[in-house]
């Protein structure tokens, strides 16, 4: 969300205590206000009447005891890539860019250009959720929609997790009931809302160190959908994927491309002609869905971040684990520079064990997350409101409100009808990639493992407000962020 320069909210200091690796308490000061992103603009997009309110105290684990707060049975469902065309176009299954590091470090230019907060809304403002559902049905024509309790994204689930964890960040999103599925729909102040004050190397680094395959040349963004069980719900979650490791042993299928033959066009060349960088798609345009790309197993994808190590500080994995837990991303790449744009220290980490440890250490917060999800689903299924909004402005207050814009739908009528009809299909096809794409050796992300990778990251014991915030309130940088954190402005690089 862009800064509101006319009326920026005041900044208040907070002191947060949390347990470190040794079990002792550490103290961190962090600020809340502009650096957490602007408030939802309720003047431009007014709130509806209040329907229900609850606080974090209503979600205490002793008051709610669902299944153990762990993610189970995570599996790939579908994927798509946005092409850099003026007409909104996706290819299914598409493919993420491959990790292709430079042989020798080179000085990179700082980030510049226009970047949108919500790439799906900017490219297709009419129905930002439609590409995901089109991809699901294209890969699974008989997809059993009745098996899906919640459809969400990294942003909406991440915001609920922040609330459950006591992290002070305002947000709002829409909720719509389609069939028996509850859709959590991201809602920014505008579909074309920009990330302000872009600087650093959070975009130029992946542009130089990853490469699109010839099958998906002209891609701008790769979106994935995974399905897993959490808190007694079957969830489908969409998120943006930074790339994949081509040397990963589970990468065994490459359609229409010989192994190792990557197109020489890198991300930077792709972005040079990207229409999304200059203007968003027209809201009246129709979505084009084409077939291209190949499946990449979940075990091979990675998240990528950059960071300056001028202060000789290692990245705090407590800032990384929460959002990668939501998306079940098992690999993490961090590139360090000295402020000169030259990345001499790049590390690839298998973080599956770290995610498992983080999940155990944050069981209380995750139980509260499950409680929130149950409250929202129960309200959606028992009330007369087929659409409503979830709004959080105050740290310890979550509101359910009527949705004023009743014309704002998650899906167009024909696709909505198809989703409802999908629940009536009995001859079900299994959801997920074929066995050749699955991780046969390693346990699924989120499940325990006796093996600890040599490059495993230490596991922070608890997630607190400091988990999501940088202690230096004057060093705001949006380029290390992603859509999963709502471009909060304080992810480190």
What are the domain boundaries of the chain?
37-485
Q: Give the residue among 360, 155, 148 at the shortest CA–CA distance from 233.
A: 148
Three-state DSSP class for 361?
helix
* pLDDT of 352 above 70: yes
User: To the nearest whole percent, how much of the chain has pLDDT over 70?
Assistant: 66
Quote helix, strand, coil % in the chain, to nearest 5. 25, 25, 50
CA angle 210, 353, 232 (to 5 degrees): 100
* pLDDT of 117 above 90: no
Greater confidence (430 vs 185) lies with: 185
Greater confidence (75 vs 491) lies with: 75
Pairwise CA distance, residues 239 & 223, whole Å: 6
User: Once rounded to an integer, what is the mean pLDDT over residues 159-185?
Assistant: 94
Greater confidence (482 vs 452) lies with: 482
Residue 264 is predicted with a pLDDT of: 43
Pairwise CA distance, residues 130 & 153, whole Å: 13
Asked whether 334 and 347 are in contact (CB, 8 A), the reply is yes
**What dihedral do alpha carbons 382, 383, 387, 388 form, nearest 10°?**
-110
* pLDDT of 92 above 50: yes
* pLDDT of 239 above 90: yes
Rounded to two decimals, what is the model's pTM?
Answer: 0.76
User: Once rounded to an integer, what is the mean pLDDT over residues 334-348?
Assistant: 91
User: To the nearest whole percent, how much of the chain has pLDDT over 90?
Assistant: 51
* pLDDT of 102 above 90: yes
Lowest-confidence region among 45-49, 282-286, 317-321, 487-491: 487-491
With cut-offs at 50, 70 and 90, classify the pLDDT of residue 384.
confident
- Output the average pLDDT for the chain: 76
């Amino acid at each position: 969300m862009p800064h509101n320069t006319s009326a920026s909210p005041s900044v208040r200091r907070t002191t947060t205590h949390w347990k470190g690796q040794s079990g002792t308490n550490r103290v961190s000061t962090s600020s809340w206000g502009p650096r957490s992103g602007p408030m939802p603009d309720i003047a431009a997009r007014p709130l509806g009447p209040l329907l229900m309110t609850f606080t974090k105290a209503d979600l205490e684990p002793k008051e709610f005891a669902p299944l153990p707060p762990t993610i189970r049975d995570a599996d790939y469902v579908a994927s798509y890539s946005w092409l850099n065309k003026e007409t909104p176009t996706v290819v299914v299954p598409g493919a993420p860019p491959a990790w292709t590091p430079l042989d020798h470090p080179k000085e990179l230019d700082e980030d510049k250009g226009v970047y949108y907060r919500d790439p799906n809304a900017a490219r297709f403002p009419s129905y930002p959720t439609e590409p995901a559902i089109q991809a699901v049905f294209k890969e699974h024509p008989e997809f059993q929609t009745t098996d899906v309790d919640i459809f969400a994204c990294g942003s909406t689930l991440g915001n609920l997790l922040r609330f459950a964890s006591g992290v002070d960040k305002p947000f709002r999103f829409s909720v719509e009931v389609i069939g028996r599925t509850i859709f959590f729909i991201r809602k920014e102040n505008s579909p074309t809302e920009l990330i302000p004050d872009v600087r650093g190397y959070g975009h130029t680094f992946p542009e130089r160190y990853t490469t699109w395959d010839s099958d998906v040349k002209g891609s701008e963004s790769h979106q994935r959908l995974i399905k897993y069980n959490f808190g007694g719900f079957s969830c489908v979650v969409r998120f943006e994927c930074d790339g994949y490791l081509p040397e990963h042993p589970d990468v065994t299928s490459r359609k229409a491309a010989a192994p190792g033959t990557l197109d020489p066009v890198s991300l930077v060349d792709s972005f040079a002609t990207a229409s999304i960088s200059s203007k968003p798609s027209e809201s009246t345009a129709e979505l084009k869905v084409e077939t291209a790309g190949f499946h990449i197993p979940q075990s091979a994808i990675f998240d990528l971040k950059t960071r300056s190590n001028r202060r000789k500080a290692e990245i705090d994995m407590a800032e990384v684990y929460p959002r990668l837990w939501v998306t079940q991303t098992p690999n993490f790449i961090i590139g360090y520079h000295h402020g000169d744009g030259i990345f001499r220290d790049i590390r690839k980490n298998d973080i599956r064990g770290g995610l498992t440890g983080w999940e155990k250490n944050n069981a209380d917060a995750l139980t509260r997350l499950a409680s929130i999800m149950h409250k929202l689903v129960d309200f959606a299924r028992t009330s007369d409101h087929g659409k409503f909004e979830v709004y959080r402005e105050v740290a310890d207050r979550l509101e359910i409100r009527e949705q004023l814009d009743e014309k704002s739908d998650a899906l167009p009528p024909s696709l909505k009808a198809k989703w409802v009809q999908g629940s009536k299909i009995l001859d079900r096809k299994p959801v997920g990639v074929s066995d050749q794409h699955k991780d046969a050796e390693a346990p699924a992300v989120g499940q325990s493992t006796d093996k600890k990778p040599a490059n495993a990251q230490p596991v922070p014991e608890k997630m607190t407000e400091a988990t999501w915030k940088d202690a230096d309130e004057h060093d705001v940088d949006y380029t290390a962020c992603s859509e999963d954190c709502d471009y909060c402005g304080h992810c480190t690089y």
